[in-house]
Chain A
Amino acid sequence: MENSLKHRDYELIRKIGDGDTSAFRQLVYLYKDVSLSLAVSIIKNPVIAEDVLQDVFIKVYHKLHTFQYKASFSTWLYRIVINTCYNELKKKKDTTDIQDIRDTLNLPSVDRDNMNEADQKKYINLALQQLRADEALLLRLFYLCEYKIKEIEEITGFKPSKIKVDLHRGRENIHFHLKQLLGDDLNNLL
């Protein structure tokens, strides 16, 4: 499965090299949402994160000829996304106010007993956005992208000990923030 995905990406990259822009469109379509999720883990504000992601994909388009067909494309892409986001964070030192995040996410005043999937998503994302960038990023890489510690080390450049510690803290903190947001209704999410 993993190999077929790898080959699908390699094929698309070769087509892009031959000047096929629709192949690039396809490649972006495949990775845009997970890339944005990782970017939001670091930058916190989804609007700014999307702008950064645009720059990332433009960079990827121009640098695609330097891609070596050894690692998977996703690993290469996510490394660029993460590095660009951390650089952006350093530049702006933007500590987004939690109220801004609430506004961006447009949190609903929902009947928590009957939360639909979209509402659940908003609460989960709000809880994730209250975590430290490293914790949120590692949780998403581990549980959403289903990467192993070794692969996460390759993508982020973090040491395995840091990855394990931050994952542990992330697990505790997300539970804490969800509990704060939802109280006993947290069980409705599970």
Chain B
Amino acid sequence: MKEENLKKLISKSTVETSNDFINNLMNAIEAQKETKKMSFRFSFKMVLLVCSTLTLILSGLLFNILGKESRLFDSLTEDIPKTPVFLVITLTLLYYINSIIRLNYYNTKK
């Protein structure tokens, strides 16, 4: 078979996609994006909840220990000032929240 005939033949061999190919594709991409967002939102909320609960428990426990008159920790607890400890805990919590918000920002940008 001549080269030009073959070229003519093969040029007729394009296989066309179904009519709704692009729509199906775009729907699939949108669905994937939505699932990704949903799973992130869920984990975002979970992390936030766990961090806040842990910080609350930790600060509660610390204040309880610091407030008690215990023989074992008497000398130690008297020396620890309450305000700086509370400040450190609050700052840590704010740092957690900031990291999560930044993560959320990059995720939505993607």
Q: Which residues of A contact B (CB under 8 A)?
A: 21, 24-25, 28-29, 32-34, 36-37, 40, 46, 49-50, 53-54, 57-58, 61, 117, 120-121, 124-125, 128, 139-140, 143-144, 171, 174-175, 178, 189-190
Contact = CB atoms under 8 A, between A and B. Distances in A.
Using C-beta atoms within 8 Å of the partner chain, give the interface range for chain B. Answer: 20 to 34
B15 A58 contact: no
- Interface of B, secondary structure class, is helix
Contact of B7 (A33, A49, A143): A143
Contacts of B11: 143-144
Interface string B21-46: 11011101100100000000000000
29 contacts: A21-B29, A25-B26, A28-B21, A33-B15, A33-B17, A34-B14, A36-B16, A37-B14, A53-B21, A54-B21, A54-B24, A54-B25, A58-B25, A58-B29, A61-B29, A124-B10, A125-B13, A128-B10, A139-B6, A140-B13, A143-B7, A143-B10, A143-B11, A144-B10, A171-B6, A174-B9, A178-B9, A189-B9, A190-B8
B72 interface: no
Contacts of A53: 17, 21
A84 to B, nearest CB: 15
A34 B13 CA distance: 9
A117 B16 CA distance: 14
Contact of B15 (A29, A46, A178, A190): A46
B107 to A, nearest CB: 14
B7 A37 contact: no
A171 B3 CA distance: 9
B17 A140 contact: no
B109 to A, nearest CB: 9
